[in-house]
Amino acid sequence: MTRNFECIAGPFNSQLGGILWDDGGLIFSLIDELLLQKFDPTNGSISTFRSYTGRMNGMAKAKDNSIFVCQEGGRRIIQLQADGSANVTATRFEGQIHNHPYDLCIDSKGRVWFSDPHSGTQAFGPQIFPPLNHASVMRLERDQIGHWVIRRMSFDTAFPGAVLLSDDEKTLFLAENSDDEACNRELRAYPIKADGSLGKFEVLHSFGSDYLGLHAGINGLCKDHLGQIYACAGDLKSGRHAAIYQYSSTGQLLKCIPFPHGTPIRCTFAGDGNKHLYVTSSNRSIYRLALD
């Protein structure tokens, strides 16, 4: 059965970054225009949520209603406060500026898990800080005196992308999208051990390759109220078609919903009992899918 994706906004004059449902509306990032915008589903209006954002991408809301955002242009994680102010978290790992954060999620302890891949996009300012010699999943957490510190969590990743925590916070799901022709792009599940470190990963889905090259992997992840995982994956060029992949909470593939509007990039649920899924696309538009 073909699902109807309704275009609710766009196309914009910018590529789209992270999206987040917040206070009755959809916050989304116009990366090239350095803006966070907010869509109101009650009347279809769009307003500016934040300006001068510095190429913000993945975002997530914390328990205190602040919003943590991956600021690719500044190579840092920013905390946006409800009063309009913003705080910079830790930017250095073992004395070096970390890479270009792509996506993040927040656990019940307030720790921020983020993917930190290498990127061809230059950060703002003089290019005097080299990238780290690894691309890893990292974690921001508070030390004993309340300062943010960064801890490296993965030691087996080449291009970590979308990240997502299971409801019980015992598993970290990760999209690993290597550009190495010898390595498939994967949806991985890392067990989170009692000491907070990651165990050995299990591959839940491998995207393979053919004469067209590597199949496009996962760009964005979200979950519904049952803990089921939704993934924006594939494209219109490779042998793996653009679609929204639905997995069980344990990673079993349940269904594949074809996405006919370019490459799906990010997805999130509205605050209406998971009746509507919002998806951003490579065609610089935002779509809404009504679910059963």
pLDDT per residue over 38-82, tens digit each?
A: 999 999 999 999 999 989 999 999 999 999 999 988 899 999 998
pLDDT per residue over 218-249, tens digit each?
A: 999 999 999 999 999 987 665 557 999 999 99
Q: What is the average pLDDT across 86-92?
A: 94
CATH number of the domain at 5-290, out of 3.40.50.300, 3.40.430.10, 2.120.10.30, 1.10.10.10? 2.120.10.30
**292 compared with 67, residue with greater pLDDT:** 67
**pLDDT for res 238:** 58
Confidence band (pLDDT; 50, 70, 90) for 259? very high
pLDDT per residue over 91-147, tens digit each?
A: 999 999 999 999 999 999 999 999 999 987 777 767 778 999 999 999 999 999 999
**pLDDT for res 236:** 67
Q: Is pTM beyond 0.85 here?
A: yes
What's the burial of 272, exposed, middle or buried (CB within 10 Å: 0-12/13-18/19+)?
exposed
**pLDDT for res 2:** 52
Q: Are 174 and 166 in contact (CB under 8 A)?
A: no
**pLDDT for res 66:** 95
Q: Are 262 and 282 in contact (CB under 8 A)?
A: yes
183 has a pLDDT exceeding 60:
yes
pLDDT per residue over 157-173, tens digit each?
A: 999 999 999 999 999 99
Q: What is the average pLDDT across 21-27?
A: 94
Please state, in angstroms and rounded to a whole number, the distance separating the CA atoms of residues 261 and 278.
Answer: 13
Q: Where are the domains of the chain?
A: 5-290
Please state, in angstroms and rounded to a whole number, the distance separating the CA atoms of residues 154 and 162.
Answer: 14
> Angle at CA 106, nearest 5°, toward 116 and 189?
65
**pLDDT for res 248:** 95
1 has a pLDDT exceeding 60:
no
25 has a pLDDT exceeding 60:
yes
Q: Are 71 and 55 in contact (CB under 8 A)?
A: yes
Please state, in angstroms and rounded to a whole number, the distance separating the CA atoms of residues 120 and 228.
Answer: 33
